[in-house]
Structure 1
């Protein structure tokens, strides 16, 4: 009887199958390293102390709005917005405000408006806002106080912003 000699290892399927898993892991690791090295991580800041002070300043501005008893009712329409502001003392209602409309993920769609009004009523035109969650920030020009609120547009078109909330 003649014995059949087995083929060399590199001509069999099992060794290649077993080598494939570690090889895929090494390739995936190299790709991950390249992506991590070439991608900018915007979340990391060099001057964390300065950023922390800015956050404290923002909190102080929200507290100032709370002390003044400010409240704002926003009516968002497709291409305009109407803001009615009130305060504990009518004299604390500003003549001019800064409205910033921010999308959480699409920075290119953010809008900022300086509005003048009478008796706490402000109105301006807007670029059309896409469907989704939007953040509305209202502050005075001197940046002494600040209020913010969010809404899912177009479902929530009437928004009430109060620092107590």
Structure 2
């Protein structure tokens, strides 16, 4: 009497290996399509042109002598102009997380009586962030990568190398 094929262990091994590859391929396809990479840019030419504009804004900040000092301690952000006599009606502050786009946020800050820009956060802002300061008119820009919180004031100066 001949045994049935399903009682042979080698037959199961031959079937399970391709079946496992198919399941892994389907899982990979689902993961790739439900979590797209938001850091990939589709139109590189337009992005390159905008980078040149941004470098021009950084150079304008250098020409104007823009300098600020930043401190983030006990969930309170303080940005103070250093070496600038100009009064700013509004300072645009953008925080970009290096990997998670949903954590990015923007603040529009006005000066207090001391000439400082202040904001109190409801939650802890810690880790590595790319910070961008721009004027209300958006004609100059300072950009830097920081590790937050910062107990001491750190200088933010226009640096064209970090503009990209």
TM-score band, normalised by shorter chain: 0.7 to 0.9
> Post-superposition shift, 1:84?
2.3
**Deviations 1:35-77, CA, capped at 9 Å, x for gaps:** 4455545345554433332222111111211222322111222
> Post-superposition shift, 1:154?
2.6
In structure 2, the gaps of 5 or more residues are none
TM-score normalised according to structure 1 size: 0.74
* Greater C-alpha radius of gyration: 1
In 2, are the aligned partners of 1:80 and 1:123 still within 8 Å (CA)? no
Residues in 2 aligned to 1:61 and 1:114: alpha-carbon distance in whole angstroms: 20
- Corresponding residue for residue 123 of structure 1: 117
- Corresponding residue for residue 99 of structure 1: 93
Over the aligned positions, Cα root-mean-square deviation in angstroms equals: 2.9
In structure 1, the gaps of 5 or more residues are none
Residues in 2 aligned to 1:100 and 1:39: alpha-carbon distance in whole angstroms: 24
- Which of 16, 22, 26 is 1:26 aligned to? 22
> Post-superposition shift, 1:81?
2.1
TM-score normalised according to structure 2 size: 0.75
